[in-house]
Amino acid sequence: MNESTDKLLDIFGTGRVMISLAEVRIQLKMDTGDESVVTQLIDRALDTWRVEKILADDQDGEQIWFLRLLSEEESNNLQSLPQVEQVLLKLLRQVDTGRRRGAMKEEIILHKLREMGFEINEIPQIVDRIDDAFMAEDDGEMIRWFYLIPLEERNKEFDSMILTNDE
């Protein structure tokens, strides 16, 4: 392990940590009250795939953002994704409004990706990271949404397929 990884381990631990707690730990570790420095540090760790921003339930059952230190293998896997997939993950982790944190309508994603110069007609699928679902709008119209898969839900479908095949 290198010094950078050791520092991240001190801040994030080996599990997940609420973003607000990570911010406090960074402030204490760096002896700073400057929130912009803390935000820059977290953003750099996210952008270089050292940590990931995940949704998980808090003690009250509400989905909130956590940060999780990635293993070297996970980090390398995310870094090797095509650029459009990396950008898609970044777009979804920025959605922090309403009851659909980490989720965005298909048409909005396509529009944003095209604005960034990607020539795509379909949203790329990223196994164990992004899924899609159709949700009814207020007028009853079914709209396709893409969302970040919460950590606890990753591999469930794959695990159930294995159990079914083993029986």
Maximal C-alpha separation, the chain: 56
129: left (phi over 0), alpha (psi -120 to 50) or beta: alpha
How do residues 77-91 score in pLDDT, each as one tens digit?
Answer: 999 999 999 999 999
Does the domain at 1-80 match CATH 3.30.70? Answer given as: no
Percent of the chain with pLDDT over 70: 83
Kindly report the pTM of this predicted structure. 0.82
Residue 9's SS3 state is: helix
DSSP helix/strand/coil, 157: helix
Please give the Cα distance from 162 to 156 (Å, whole number).
Answer: 10
